[in-house]
Amino acid sequence: MSGTAPPSLVQIGAQPREPRPEWLRIKLSTPRRYHEVKELVDRLSLNTVCQEARCPNIYECWGEHGTATFMILGEICTRRCGFCSVTSGRPAPGVDVEEPAHVGEAVATMGLDHAVITSVDRDDLPDGGARHFSEVIRAIHSASPACAVEVLTPDFRGVHDALDIVLGARPEVFSHNMETVPSMYRKARPGSRYDRSLDLLAQAASRRDDGAYRGVVKTGIMLGLGETGTEVEQTLEDIRGAGVEVMTLGQYMQPTRQHLPVDRWVHPDEFESYREFALGLGFKHCESGPLVRSSYHAHEHVASIESPAPI
């Protein structure tokens, strides 16, 4: 991208953290089911975004609901986003050919009705990992025919046909996170582009409208990185204009001191105002709150709107 390089994350992260407000404090609990999910994930050598992204909801999802968001294509990301705790670097060549079967087995063992699959960015692969996504989707459908599959994909760097490869495997939900407002991209997502992410969602929505894809299109953004209320509303308008049906908004929380600092803690009332604004734009569902993450209660996001046509 043009212009001066963003300041180093170490310099940014050196600022002191503000204490979290009461509404962001969670009760830690590790019931038996939490340990069962962890043992299954470890046994099958699977990665989860729950662990890699230090999700605050891991104890609820693993412990109370027995669900996890699986992260495929390894644990090394080829990009270095300022908000993300996933390790950046050069991944080992190729992909784990046994991973689709292992994810399918895990979903079947856990008895999931709704499985969420995401990944690191793999800009080193010719298709950005699209074919591997399709194989994982098919493995889950084969092992658990009644399970709905939600994929949360990278932007594939605009690779031609990557989206069609993923949608060709017929996931019930296609999701790609916009993450933040345009003005924050250079700082928060230096390897990504706002227009490219928005276009990917628009293409998925276009295929849905044309009947080539019969699923739901979804995205999410974080608040508290430095955006203004006007920017949030404009971003919501852009996303709805692209044809997205389901929207999530959550609070950004700094994973470590080496990551971007929290600009402010967004009050639950403000999150509610954005939810009402989004619904007024025509989104079929909007989940908005401090602890909301794109895969948090994902099955409820889709169940709350008209079910997609049978595939």
- CATH number of 212's domain: 3.20.20.70
Task: Report yes or no on 129 lying in a domain.
Answer: yes
The pLDDT value recorded for residue 63 is 42
Is 65 contained in some domain? Answer: no
pLDDT at residue 106, as a whole number: 86
Q: Cβ distance 274 to 236 under 8 Å?
A: yes
Is 60 contained in some domain?
Answer: no
Q: Do the Cβ atoms of 118 and 86 come closer than 8 Å?
A: no
**Burial classification of residue 248, based on how many CB atoms lie within 10 Å of its CB (0-12 exposed, 13-18 middle, 19 or more buried):** buried
Residue 2 falls within a domain, yes or no? no
Collapsing DSSP to helix, strand or coil, 220 comes out as: strand
* Average pLDDT across the chain, whole number: 84
Please report whether residue 50 resides in a domain: no
Q: In the predicted model, is pLDDT for residue 6 greater than 50?
A: no
User: Is position 33 within any domain?
Assistant: no
Whole-structure pTM value: 0.84
Choose the weakest-confidence range: 113-127, 267-281, 287-301: 287-301
In a domain, 11, yes or no: no
Q: Return the residue matching tokens 């989860």.
A: 48
At 299, the pLDDT band (50, 70, 90 cuts) reads low
What percent of the chain lies above the pLDDT cut of 90? 59
Helices first, then strands: H and E counts in the chain = 12, 8
Greater confidence (28 vs 172) lies with 172
Q: Which residue has the higher pLDDT, 28 or 191?
A: 191
| Structural domain harbouring 121 | 70-303
Contacts of residue 60, Cβ cutoff 8 Å, sequence gap at least 6:
26
CA distance 258 to 265: 19
Total domains present in the chain: 1
Domain membership of residue 172 (yes or no) is yes
DSSP 3-state of 63: helix
Q: Give the full edge-to-edge strand order of the sheet including 246-251.
A: 47-48, 69-72, 114-119, 148-152, 173-175, 216-223, 246-251, 285-288
Taking the C-alpha atoms of residue 78 and residue 88, their distance in angstroms, rounded to an integer, is 6
